[in-house]
């Protein structure tokens, strides 16, 4: 069958070639190809300009970010300076400070037992100690910046001694109060 088709086309070739496309069609095809090629190429961007307001906003944002970063840096430097080892200033005072803090913690635990029986009395005692501890915290902050650190350290030790004395007095008052209650109960029983 293909042989017959080939023979038919070759015999009638002249009849098929009588219709030729016009030159305008080839011109249009060429123009469309040129436009298609041009659209496929990456476009170059021209120089972009920014308004003064935009530039000022960007500059302000950069300044704010740098300011915040600088503030964080300064704050981190301050916290590093407050971590002073007391043993570097005076080893004797450092040992004394450790002993006093340990004694204070023990006495505060004893004092917390009072909260179960008399919460109002515990609150009053706790407020007294809290005021003294505020002074101790202030001294701790001052220690980092003070030119006379040993003097501040002595004040800190004295503050801890005062806390210990106050706690001893408070525990003594509680013990006397409990003893008087026991004595009253014994008198009531003996009557």
Residues 94 and 109 reside in one and the same domain: yes
**pLDDT band for position 191 (cuts 50, 70, 90):** low
pLDDT (0 to 100) of residue 175 = 84
Cα–Cα dist 32/54, whole Å: 42
Beta strands in 68-141 (DSSP E): none
- 0.85 exceeded by pTM: no
What are the tens digits of pLDDT across the range 8-53? 888 877 776 666 666 677 778 888 888 887 777 666 666 678 889 9
Residues 171 and 137 reside in one and the same domain: yes
Residues 153 and 131 reside in one and the same domain: yes
Residues 163 and 182 reside in one and the same domain: yes
Structure tokens at 2: 């293909």
Residues 66 and 152 reside in one and the same domain: no
Domain coverage including residue 71: 52-81
Residues 99 and 186 reside in one and the same domain: yes
Q: Return the SS3 of 19.
A: coil
Percentage of residues in the chain with pLDDT exceeding 90?
Answer: 6
Q: Report if residue 36 sits inside a domain.
A: no
What are the tens digits of pLDDT across the range 124-172? 888 888 888 899 888 888 887 878 888 888 888 899 899 889 888 888 8
pLDDT (0 to 100) of residue 92 = 81
CA distances in angstroms from 68 to 54, 59, 61, 63, 71, listed in the order given: 21, 14, 11, 9, 5
Cα–Cα dist 136/152, whole Å: 10
Residues 76 and 138 reside in one and the same domain: no
Using alpha carbons, select from 116, 124, 118, 119 the residue that is nearest to residue 169.
Answer: 124
Residues 70 and 128 reside in one and the same domain: no
Residues 153 and 66 reside in one and the same domain: no
Cα–Cα dist 162/155, whole Å: 10
pLDDT (0 to 100) of residue 143 = 81
What are the tens digits of pLDDT across the range 96-122? 888 888 888 888 888 787 767 777 877
CA distances in angstroms from 3 to 9, 10, 11, 12, 15, listed in the order given: 10, 11, 12, 14, 19
pLDDT (0 to 100) of residue 56 = 92
Q: Report if residue 149 sits inside a domain.
A: yes
Residues 163 and 70 reside in one and the same domain: no
Residues 98 and 168 reside in one and the same domain: yes
CA distances in angstroms from 30 to 23, 42, 43, listed in the order given: 11, 21, 21
The total number of structural domains in the chain stands at: 2
Residue found by looking up tokens 């971590």 in the block: 83
What are the tens digits of pLDDT across the range 45-79? 666 788 899 999 999 999 999 989 888 888 776 65
Residues 185 and 91 reside in one and the same domain: yes
């Amino acid at each position: 069958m293909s042989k017959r088709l080939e023979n038919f086309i070759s015999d009638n070739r002249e009849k098929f070639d009588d219709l030729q496309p016009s030159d305008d069609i080839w011109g249009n095809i060429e123009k469309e190809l040129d436009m298609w090629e041009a659209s496929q190429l990456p476009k170059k961007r021209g120089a972009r300009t920014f308004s003064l307001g935009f530039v000022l906003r960007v500059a302000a944002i950069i300044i704010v970010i740098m300011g915040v970063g600088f503030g964080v840096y300064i704050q981190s430097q301050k916290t590093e300076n407050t971590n002073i080892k007391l043993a570097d200033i005076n080893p004797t005072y450092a040992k004394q400070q450790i002993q006093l803090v340990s004694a204070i913690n023990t006495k505060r635990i004893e004092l917390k037992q009072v909260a179960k029986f008399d919460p109002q009395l515990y609150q009053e005692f706790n407020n007294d100690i809290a005021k003294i501890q505020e002074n101790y915290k202030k001294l701790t902050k001052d220690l980092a910046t003070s030119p006379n650190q040993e003097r501040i350290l002595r004040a800190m030790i004295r503050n801890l001694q005062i806390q210990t004395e106050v706690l001893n007095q408070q525990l003594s008052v509680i013990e006397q109060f409990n003893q008087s209650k026991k004595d009253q109960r014994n008198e009531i029983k003996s009557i």
